[in-house]
Structure 1
Amino acid sequence: MSGKLPQRQSSSHSGLIFAHFFFVDIVGLSDPTMSTKTQIKKIEVLNRCIFESEVYRSTPKESILTLN
């Protein structure tokens, strides 16, 4: 290993993908004092906020990757 950093490519040719992401930590939403129905409602509200956002609605659907 030479210890040198690779040269930085120009941003227009870097191959990087610009992405927004939301991560729902289901374990973090688990609260033993909260009913399962309430936890589900919280997830549904978060999903609705994401799906109704301008960024999500304006993104071409073929560019969206959703993991369930």
Structure 2
Amino acid sequence: MLPQYYDIPAAERSEDEQAALRQDVVLSVEADCYWCLCKLVEGIQDHYTYAQPGIQRTVFQLQALAM
């Protein structure tokens, strides 16, 4: 989900395109990304057991999501 917002490197955007992005839209996207990440990380504590297999599984999911 997140790559569709941030996958295009800023160097590939012209200055006009970057300037055309309204600050409220950028802040809204940033806030949505933050809350999605918070919700995902919130579930990590629910998986705690000895040797942390649930945490490891969730971290691998986070890693896959970030790539």
What is the TM-score with the length of structure 1 in the denominator? 0.41
More helix, by proportion: 2
Please identify the structure whose Cα radius of gyration is greater.
1
TM-score normalised to structure 2 length: 0.41
By relative contact order (CA 8 Å, sep 6+), the higher-ranking structure is 2
